[in-house]
Structure 1
Amino acid sequence: MKFQKIIMVILLALFSGSVNLAAQDNNKAEEIMKKAHLALFYAGDDGAAEVTMKIVNSKGKERLREFTMLRLDIEEGGKQDYYTYFKKPSDVSRLTFMVHKIPFSSDNRWLYIPSVDLVKRISADDKNSSFVGSDFTYEDVSGRHWSEDNHKLIREEKLNGRDVYVIESVPKEKYKGFARKVSFIDKENYLPLKEEYYNKKDALKRVFTAEKVELVDGIQTATLRKMVNVKKDQYTTVEFSSIKYNVGMKEEVFTERFLKNPPREYIR
């Protein structure tokens, strides 16, 4: 009887230890994903860049989009504003997209369509829709907050010569964007170098990659990003140029009155 009690104590200790280790790994995974989110979406206090988007279909036909993107952080890792002004081609020229990012709530998104002089509010249900016909979604533009998912550190490995954490993320609540996501996070700069999105059947839907990382104003920046739509056999790249951080962006720029009249201080 005494021997059985000893065995039981040992088993309980081992079980307790494994539970604690699992909890520590999950906490580490969440901290890594938080840093990754900040590295990709919250670099500096604000930012401005020229962006060239290339959409390539399964037959190799290309469509180009050129736009200016402005960003202002209201809170680090929290509220954030985005403003996107399209310049080319003519069918999207002067189209404006604005986001008020609100963690733990539904983001506010507006789209100004100049051809019909219409300001359209984009509902929360549309956040996983295609962004101007690309393989990126509206939510991809401003990012999904790390706290909306449960994270687990799967392993550590090398990706294209870089040491990375491999983390699996599963939505805490019902979500259309993905059933699970596997992220490959650079151990040095915490930028996500690759992300794999899977559906409910565990089939690979989309793959994001940071094709080029450069030092801009002392900040490691993914200047060329690619999203592959596996099912449609097509992809979209976005290349950032003329990047500037900490330019002193004004909060008034991210208001509805500037949807129809772009701020010429930042947009030429």
Structure 2
Amino acid sequence: MAKTRFVWLSAVVLLFPLVGGLFSRALAGTPGGAEEIMRRSALVQFYSGNDMRAKVTMRLLSKEGGERVRELIMTRRNVKAGGDQKYFILFRQPADVRDMTFLVWKYPQRDSDRWLYIPSIKLVKRIAANDKRSSFVGSDFSYEDVSGRAAEEDNHTLLREEKYEGKELFVVKSIPKDGKSADFGYKVSWIDKGNFVLWKEEYYDKRGALFKVFTADEVKPIQGFPTTVKRTMKNVQTGHWSEAAYGEVKYNLGLAAGVFSERSLRNPPKELAR
């Protein structure tokens, strides 16, 4: 049954470019359409394929010209199509974070489990639920940005449809149902009407001031899945921003469940070090 769900999900994502225009027009006019748009976008952004592996280079930049670089290997495995997932991240560079690992067991209907292993002090740290909004290894991406936020956690409103850099997009406003569950008061998302790729997202603080902006800088098809291979998150209040480039992206590798175990935190599987 699980395999059937995975095949179904992969087929849905692959068919988005073919039926997206017709489906999106119908979707916009249906009750609850905004939430469905966000749910479809999450499928594209976080659930493509049964699993995924990529080499990621993050550049952390300041308005003063400072730059720090992080290199890591990211893996992801879907446990349930559109639902539970597991992430495992192995840091490769720089030296002060080399061999640090990060594990996420994601449950859309409740708080996810997150662990961070710090090799310099041989400590496995459990990340509390309220820390999911904290900076991910000093970047402008939060832990939640890395593994995703469930559409059901917010109330969504379709504001309009518009063109952005030549693309036809939905513009959706999302307000957290539980204000304590998010570090933003609301966010506005620009989502492709054809393939549901998230092209831009603005985050507003609890006072209503813009404080963070996400942009998809390059999207290309990989194994039939629209994939954001370059992305930026900028804190407009501090002037600091982070860029993430995804290389050697591969889907449907058949990653073993054991890769995503607590044991792997201290002893990462050899295939991740390649």
Tell me if both proteins adopt one fold, taking TM over 0.5 as the criterion: yes
Match of 1:61 in 2: 66
Q: After superposition, where does 1:77-226 map in structure 2 within 5 Å?
A: 77-174=82-179, 175-226=181-232
Structure 1 residues 25 and 197: CA distance shift in structure 2, 3 A: farther
Q: Distance in 2 between matches of 1:142 and 1:34?
A: 14
Asked if 2 retains the 8 angstrom alpha-carbon contact of 1:26 and 1:152, the reply is: no
Aligned AA for 1:120? K
User: 1:200: how far off?
Assistant: 1.4
Aligned structure 1 segments of 4 or more residues deviating by more than 3 angstroms: 23-26
Identify which of 33, 38, 41 aligns with 1:33.
Answer: 38
Asked if 2 retains the 8 angstrom alpha-carbon contact of 1:25 and 1:152, the reply is: no
Q: Secondary structure at the match of 1:127?
A: helix
Aligned AA for 2:49? G
User: 1:265: how far off?
Assistant: 2.1
Q: Secondary structure at the match of 2:60?
A: strand
Identify which of 222, 240, 261 aligns with 1:255.
Answer: 261
User: 1:104: how far off?
Assistant: 1.4
Asked if 2 retains the 8 angstrom alpha-carbon contact of 1:80 and 1:101, the reply is: yes
Gapped regions of structure 1 (runs ≥ 5): 1-22
Which string of whole-angstrom CA distances, capped at 9 and with x for unpartnered residues, describes residues 101-134 of structure 1? 0111110000000000000000001110000000
Asked if 2 retains the 8 angstrom alpha-carbon contact of 1:25 and 1:153, the reply is: no
Q: Say which one has the larger Rg.
A: 1
Q: Distance in 1 between matches of 2:208 and 2:130?
A: 22
Q: Distance in 1 between matches of 2:243 and 2:34?
A: 28
Identify which of 46, 50, 54 aligns with 1:45.
Answer: 50
Q: What is the CA RMSD across the aligned residues, in angstroms? A: 1.2
Gapped regions of structure 2 (runs ≥ 5): 1-27
Higher helix proportion: 2
Aligned AA for 1:199? D
Aligned AA for 2:74? M
Q: Distance in 1 between matches of 2:252 and 2:174?
A: 31
Structure 1 residues 219 and 176: CA distance shift in structure 2, 3 A: closer
Aligned AA for 1:218? G
Q: Distance in 1 between matches of 2:229 and 2:189?
A: 18
Determine if the alignment matches structure 1 residue 227 to structure 2 residue 233: yes
User: 1:266: how far off?
Assistant: 3.3
User: 1:180: how far off?
Assistant: 0.5
Match of 2:18 in 1: none
Q: Distance in 1 between matches of 2:183 and 2:220?
A: 29
User: 1:168: how far off?
Assistant: 0.3
Question: Normalising to structure 2: TM-score of the pair?
Answer: 0.88
Aligned length: 246
User: 1:201: how far off?
Assistant: 1.0
Q: Distance in 2 between matches of 1:170 and 1:131?
A: 23
